[in-house]
Amino acid sequence: MKSTGIVRQMDSLGRIVLPIELRRTLDIAQKDSLEIYVDESSIILKKYQPSCVFCNNAKDVINYKGKNICKSCLDELKAQD
């Protein structure tokens, strides 16, 4: 894991501010969703990229009946009918 040397204080509601330089570097915009992971004693934030529930592909993903599915898996399901 790479250290940035950035230290931020948490407020009384548990919030921290990610510096603009970091958000620009990681292409995180206002209103973007972040996934939260825990690895032993570390908290990892990752920009959320929806992926297909079947193959985990994040390309050409659409929401079909409340589930994320890629075009190729959707085509495959349609072909089974």
pLDDT of the chain, 81 residues: tens digit per residue: 788 899 999 999 999 999 999 999 999 999 999 999 999 999 999 988 889 999 989 888 998 888 899 999 989 988 987
Report the alpha-carbon distance of residue 69 to residue 81 in Å, rounded.
Answer: 17
Question: Is the CB of residue 34 less than 8 Å from the CB of residue 47?
Answer: yes
Q: Please list, in sequence order, all residues whose beta carbon lies within 8 angstroms of the beta carbon of residue 24, skipping any fewer than 6 positions away.
A: none
CA distances (Å), origin 50, targets 3, 5, 6, 22, 72 = 27, 30, 28, 21, 15
Q: Please list, in sequence order, all residues whose beta carbon lies within 8 angstroms of the beta carbon of residue 66, skipping any fewer than 6 positions away.
A: none
Query: Which architecture, in CATH terms, is 1-48?
Result: Ribbon (2.10)
For the chain, domain boundaries? 1-48, 50-81
- pTM for this model (two decimals): 0.61
